[in-house]
A and B are shown apart, each in its own frame.
Chain A
Amino acid sequence: MTAMQIIFLIVAAVTLGGALMIATSRRMMHTVLWLVLTLMGVAVLFALLQANFFSVVQVLVYIGAIAILILFGVMLTRRSMVDAGESLVHKNWWVVAVVIALLFAAIVISIQPWGAAHTPLVELMEFKEPISDLGEALVDPAAYLIPFEVSSVLLLAVMVAAIYIAVDRKGGKS
């Protein structure tokens, strides 16, 4: 058991623990805060995998943008959940838990016979993360120009659509 494996196990425990707290937490606000912890664990996992750029992107995009957006959503729609006074979790949750435990067991059992799954991921030697190569490839027509432009159009369309859907066209007081 090397030091890296111990670090991995600690981070995995924190990540899965945060995810379990999301599943069991009764208050939406606490759920979002546990989501932030889970996303932070995933960012550390990216760093362990030497995907350093995406570790930073995970913190910026997921924790900085998406978690805060969800936090705003919770605060804007909180009233009804408090008034209803009912559980946030469906009453037949244990049926779902059994089915999903079976699914997890099926995945783990199907991974085991595959020999390549047990390859140790060694540290990439003399590895500098090719950020400048990535940047050039994204605007190179021979490489990834089309996926880049398509995702730009997607983000623009999403921005327009989100404003169009969420704006109050009737001018009501709510």
Chain B
Amino acid sequence: MIPLSWYLILAAGLFCIGLFVVLTKKSAIGILIGIELMLNAVNINLAAFWHYYTQLNPSQTPLNGMVFLAIVFIVAAAETAVGLALIISAYRRRNTSVAGEMDLLKG
């Protein structure tokens, strides 16, 4: 079957690509997309370790990892909603969605 390390390496690759997107995109929405990729990489890691732990301890009910995974989902959704609201607000006042041009504290 699939070794645990394959999932870890895939998640590391996804995380690194997400970091690359965050650091290189000029558009603020592009940066948000990169953050989503990084959060997904973390979710893959959590699910892989949840499976690993459940496999080692078959007698326990495997709820800890599931609740942890659910919390990460909730925080990701919250972060995207507030981030997009901020971007739209900044766009309305400054007429730009390029992160480098958002350089004033006062709109």
Report the separation of the CA atoms of residues A137 and B96 in the bound assembly, to the nearest whole angstrom.
46
Task: Tell me, rounded to whole Å, the shortest Cβ–Cβ distance linking B73 to chain A.
Answer: 6
Residues of B at under 8 Å CB distance from A?
1-10, 12-14, 16-21, 23-27, 29-30, 32-34, 36-37, 40, 43-44, 47-48, 50-52, 54-55, 58, 61-63, 66-67, 69-71, 73-78, 80-82, 84-89, 91-92, 95-98
B15 → chain A closest CB, angstroms? 8
Q: How far is the CB of A147 from chain B (nearest CB, A)?
A: 6
User: Cα distance A124–B25 when bound, in Å?
Assistant: 41
5 contacts between A and B (CB under 8 A): A19-B13, A61-B73, A69-B81, A107-B16, A137-B67
Q: Which of A5, A45, A119 contacts B44 (CB 8 A)?
A: A45
Known: A16-B13, A20-B17, A118-B3. A147 touches B33 (CB 8 A): no
Whether B77 and A23, one on each chain, are in contact in the complex, defined by CB atoms closer than 8 angstroms, is no
Contact B77 A65 (CB under 8 A): yes
Cβ B7 vs Cβ A49 within 8 A: yes
Distance (whole angstroms) from the CB of B26 to the closest CB of chain A: 6
Tell yes or no: A88 within 8 A of B by CB.
yes
CB <8 Å contact, A70 and B80: yes
Shortest distance in angstroms between A84's beta carbon and chain B's nearest beta carbon?
7
Shortest distance from the beta carbon of A44 to any chain B beta carbon, whole Å: 11
- In the complex, the answer to whether B82 meets A121 with C-beta atoms within 8 Å is no
In the complex, what distance in Å separates the CA atom of A27 from the CA atom of B75?
28
Identity of the chain A residue whose Cβ is nearest the Cβ of B100 in the assembled complex: A90
Chain B, residue nearest A154 (CB): B78
7 interchain residue pairs of minimum CB distance: A77-B97, A162-B85, A166-B85, A117-B5, A158-B78, A19-B17, A165-B85
**Cβ of B27: which chain A residues have Cβ within 8 Å of it?**
28, 81, 88
Cβ-defined partner of A70 (8 Å) among B24, B84, B85, B96: B84
